[in-house]
Amino acid sequence: MQDDRVEQAARLVKSGKMNDARTILELILKEDRKNIPAWRWYAETLHKTSDKVRVWEYCLRYNPSNQEAEQALA
């Protein structure tokens, strides 16, 4: 179930296992580009601000006018 996978990825992020979480989140986002929680956690797996900005910009491409993405970019 997709929600279970997002929750699993969130637990991995919280435990510092960014690569494992990123792998799961990339699979989710390939299937569903509109999954805002997956985009949020995917951004958390990245260290560079420029990479996080790129992720939120992609999120907005698939989810125009999403307030969370707009706030993250502000």
pLDDT tens-digit series, residues 2-56 = 579 999 999 999 999 999 999 999 999 999 999 999 999 999 999 999 999 999 9
Burial class of 19 by CB neighbour count within 10 A (0 to 12, 13 to 18, 19+):
exposed
Position 36 scores a pLDDT of 94
Task: Indicate the Cα dihedral angle 48, 53, 67, 18, nearest 10°.
Answer: -40
Is the pLDDT confidence value at 1 over 70? no
